[in-house]
């Protein structure tokens, strides 16, 4: 899919075909969740590779405030979902009209939300044990509301919405007092986000009486998806591909800096999706998208993308299969017990199974479209 329009031309290839760079980035992101992180950590430990402690730390979530590479995985996926919506929704509106597009967007969110409920145990554990808000539910809500806004607002309106969501969330957590702890307390269990979960979120909560994908933190998650939509709209602009990639990376770097500066007052905290976290994670997401775009679409260097494209074409299906233990159970049957020197093998086999299944589905054009 070569892309090479002049600065004054539309890019029919971009508009009519899937971006390999976007699928590859989605797959790169999902691979870390689906077992690549486990393989890297196991190999680093087994062979005592220098810098192993740093790598291991980066492949774990921070306890509360701060930012590791592994904290990028979830917001990057939501950002990519926004990019995909920016590319897909205008074409869907042109073909089917606004009303049909809105219905499809809402129905997709409902299905994805229910899939998230099923993934986290569904109703088999009883109503009081259902995790009503989780990873898939956040993707459903964030992408749906951001997608709806993109249908009604111009890029300028979307940017204003993005700023209002982040500033409004900061104002709520900074100035609204929490019983016993007052206002402006961002510590775990003492902030407004956790308090509202404790008060209003029913069912099972991931962190005891509050949830990292809770009620109020859905607002800045919408902002993450909006940032992806803005990036997607920029990709569709008639500028030269190289300029698009470079400016994406420049904007990403600026967002990271702004997020770190804001983090001095409003800490970078993934578990409440703080506004500074949105900027830092969104900045790194834009940097990665720009880099993948320049390497793959502009540079045409694609020999390394196939495994990521396989995974990126079926992320939800592979995620659910992994979460239900599909790959782990088969891997245990294939490998059996291993000695200490070979304790990296089960992780490698599990991840190899993910890639084999992804390749099988991709080659046969089997995709779970949600």
d(CA 154, CA 165): 16
Which residues is 167 bridged to in the sheet?
none
User: To the nearest 5 percent, what fractions of the chain are helix, strand and coil?
Assistant: 70, 0, 30
Query: What is the H or E stretch that residue 279 is in?
Result: helix 275-292
Mean pLDDT within 91-109 = 95
pLDDT tens per residue, range 199-234: 999 988 999 999 999 999 999 999 999 999 999 999
pLDDT at residue 340 is higher than 70: no
Mean pLDDT within 335-340 = 72
Give the count of beta carbons closer than 10 Å to the beta carbon of residue 335.
Answer: 15
pLDDT at res. 125? 66
Total-model pTM? 0.91
Q: Which residue has the tokens 């490698």?
A: 348
pLDDT band at 161 (very low <50, low <70, confident <90, very high): very high
Convert 141-155 to b/e letters by CB count within 10 Å (16 or more is b).
bbbbbbbbbbeeeee
The residue ranking higher by pLDDT, 296 or 328, is 296
The secondary structure of residue 365, as a DSSP letter, is T
Mean pLDDT of the chain: 90
Asked if 25 contacts 252 with a C-beta cutoff of 8 angstroms, the reply is no
pLDDT tens per residue, range 302-325: 999 999 999 999 999 999 888 888
Mean pLDDT within 235-246 = 93
Tokens representing 76 are 């990057």
pLDDT band at 127 (very low <50, low <70, confident <90, very high): confident
Burial of 108 (0-12, 13-18, 19+ CB in 10 A): middle
pLDDT at res. 11? 39
In the chain, the percentage of residues whose pLDDT exceeds 70 is: 92
Backbone angles phi, psi at 213, to 5 degrees: -110, 45
């Amino acid at each position: 899919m070569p892309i090479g329009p002049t600065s004054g031309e539309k890019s029919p290839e971009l508009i009519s075909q899937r971006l390999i760079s976007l699928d590859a980035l989605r797959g790169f992101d999902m691979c870390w969740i689906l077992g690549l992180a486990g393989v890297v950590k196991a190999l680093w430990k087994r062979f005592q590779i220098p810098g192993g402690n740093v790598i291991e730390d980066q492949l774990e979530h921070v306890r509360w405030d701060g930012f590791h590479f592994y904290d990028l995985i979830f917001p990057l996926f939501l950002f990519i979902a926004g990019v995909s919506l920016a590319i897909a929704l205008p074409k869907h509106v042109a073909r089917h009209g606004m009303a049909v597009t809105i219905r499809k967007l809402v129905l997709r969110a409902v299905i994805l939300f229910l899939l998230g409920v099923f993934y986290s145990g569904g109703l088999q554990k009883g109503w009081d044990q259902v995790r009503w808000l989780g990873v898939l539910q956040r993707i459903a809500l964030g992408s749906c509301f951001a997608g709806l806004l993109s249908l009604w607002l111009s890029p300028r309106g979307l940017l204003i919405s993005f700023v209002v969501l982040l500033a409004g969330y900061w104002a709520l957590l900074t100035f609204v007092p929490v019983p016993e702890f007052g206002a402006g307390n961002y510590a775990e269990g003492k902030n407004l986000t956790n308090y509202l979960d404790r008060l209003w979120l029913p069912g099972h909560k991931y962190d005891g009486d509050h949830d990292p994908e809770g009620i109020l933190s859905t607002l800045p998650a919408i902002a993450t998806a909006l940032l992806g939509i803005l990036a997607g709209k920029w990709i569709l602009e008639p500028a030269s591909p190289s300029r698009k990639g470079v400016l994406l990376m420049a904007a990403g770097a600026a967002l990271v800096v702004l997020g770190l500066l804001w983090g001095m007052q409003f800490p970078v905290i993934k578990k409440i999706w703080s506004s500074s976290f949105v900027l830092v994670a969104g900045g790194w997401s834009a940097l990665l998208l720009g880099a993948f775009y320049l390497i793959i679409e502009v540079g045409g260097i694609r020999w390394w993308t196939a495994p990521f494209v396989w995974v990126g074409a079926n992320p939800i299906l592979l995620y659910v299969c992994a979460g239900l233990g599909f790959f782990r159970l088969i891997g245990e049957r294939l490998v059996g017990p291993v000695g200490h020197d070979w304790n990296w093998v089960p992780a490698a086999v599990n991840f190899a199974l993910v890639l084999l299944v992804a390749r099988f589905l991709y080659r046969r054009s089997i995709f779970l479209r949600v």
